A and B are shown apart, each in its own frame.
Chain A
Amino acid sequence: MGQEEGSAYFGNLDEVAKKAGEFIKRNRLASKVINWGYTYSLWPAYLVTACCGTELAAASAPRFDLERLGFLSYGNPRQSNLVLIDGTLTVKMAKVVRAVWEQMPEPKWVIAMGACVLDGGIFWNSYSTVLARDVLPVDIYVPGCPPRPEALARGIMMLKEKIKKNAGSKPGVQAGASPGTSAPEMMSGR
């Protein structure tokens, strides 16, 4: 029993705190609540990559209203947990996207929008484009050129399902899956 400053009956406070934290993470109910919180606060970093950004703007507009899904465009990479790559990634922009990605805290996800990030789209053999998967680990792909706002909304719903599924599936896996541990999913047509 270490009688240290600030410890009365608990023993080593750091160890106990760590064990309590891991217990909470593995507990199904607690991780379910945490994941539910993640799914309803997917805040994208303010980064518009190319022309699909117009459909992202239209999706934030009143008709399709992504904000009801918890999707609030915040503006500061240090406080966001989603990167939305919309449109072609060029060599110049890829460095910026990677820099923004590395500034974001864990856990974080990536949605790649548009045909240009899937396999090049109509600009596939250009000298200055790269594919999204060579730059960031992608979780959800939303095909289309440009994808309809409803398709983007469906992609976000799929990401929510993915976040919920990975909760408590394996002991030791962080609740709110970090990307790269499960395969990216592509939205199929109805």
Chain B
Amino acid sequence: MISLQVDAVVQELSGLVGDKAKVVYDQKAGFLRVETECKNAADVAKKMKETGFDHCISVTAVDFPVEGRMSVVWHVSSYTNSKLMGMLAALTVNVERARPEVPSLVPVWESAVFHERETHEMFGVGFAGHPDLRQLLLPDEFKGKWPLRKDFKLSKKREDLFNKGGAEP
């Protein structure tokens, strides 16, 4: 029963996007994977919204330093469309690690506004057209440091924590 619905959704979405994106249902992981290029991301997102995916759950990036790329993922789902409720789609865009720039999808899914801000400060991914790209969780000392990239190493050692005296009153 579920697989018929999934096939119908895959057909419909593939029809709408044409050859701008690759739509495939990942059986093992349990979600719909939509892979596209950076320049087509906004159009594909609009088509996905027409199909019924109406809110964004998460925006994140996965860093592959060895391959020299980063893949930015928008996970979206639906609250109102009964065929799609419970289904998750992942819109994936691969970018160059040296200059990660993608268009912001806030005009399509307004719920992505805080997530894109967090991904920007953690990975350094630029979201072109985002209304408000400031630091969200980290203080200003971390600007430009991008902690979640693989080359930012956690540097505390156990010896640093031993008692070495305290603060002045």
Are A134 and B166 neighbours in the complex by a CB distance under 8 Å? yes
Task: Give the interface size class of chain B.
Answer: 10 to 19
Q: In the bound complex, what is the Cα–Cα distance between A128 and B145 (angstroms)?
A: 12
Say whether A178 contacts B167, CB under 8 Å: no
Q: How far is the CA of A39 from the CA of B142 in the complex (A)?
A: 42
Q: Are A91 and B139 in contact (CB under 8 A)?
A: yes
Choose among A91, A92, A126 the residue that contacts B154 (Cβ–Cβ < 8 A). A126
Is the Cβ of A131 less than 8 Å from the Cβ of B168? Answer: no
Would B169 and A178 count as touching, CB distance under 8 A? yes
Residues of A in contact with B, size category = 20 to 34
Q: Tell yes or no: A120 within 8 A of B by CB.
A: yes
Interface 1/0s, chain A 105-131, versus B by CB < 8 A? 000000000000001100011111001
Q: Are A138 and B166 in contact (CB-based, < 8 A)?
A: yes
In residues 128-169 of chain B, which contact A (Cβ within 8 Å)?
Answer: 138-139, 141-142, 147, 152, 154-156, 158, 161-163, 166-169
Q: Which residues of B contact A61 (CB under 8 A)?
A: none
A131 touching B141, Cβ below 8 Å: no
Decide if B169 touches A137 in the complex (CB within 8 Å). yes
Tell me if A28 is interfacial: C-beta within 8 Å of chain B: no
B167–A133 CB distance below 8 A = yes
With contacts defined as CB atoms under 8 Å apart, how many contacts are there between chain A and chain B in the complex? 42
A75 CB within 8 Å of chain B:
no
Which of chain A's residues have a CB closer than 8 A to the CB of B162? 119
Contact A124–B167 (Cβ < 8 Å):
no
Find chain B residues with CB under 8 A from A136 CB: 167
Partner of A128, one of B138, B166, B167, B169: B138
- Report B-chain residues with C-beta under 8 Å of the C-beta of A138: 166
Asked if residues A137 and B161 are in contact (CB atoms below 8 Å), the reply is: no
Contact between A134 and B154 (Cβ–Cβ < 8 Å)?
no
Shortest C-beta distance, B148 to chain A (Å), equals 10
CB-based nearest B residue for A134? B167
Q: Is A179 located at the chain interface by the 8 A CB criterion?
A: yes
Q: Please, which residues of chain A bring their CB within 8 A of the CB of B161?
A: 119-120, 124, 131
Q: Which 8 A-B pairs have the closest CB atoms?
A: A133-B166, A180-B169, A125-B156, A119-B161, A92-B139, A125-B154, A137-B169, A120-B161
Between A and B, 7 residue pairs with Cβ closer than 8 Å are A91-B139, A91-B141, A120-B161, A127-B154, A128-B142, A133-B163, A137-B169
* B contacts, CB < 8 Å to A: 138-139, 141-142, 147, 152, 154-156, 158, 161-163, 166-169
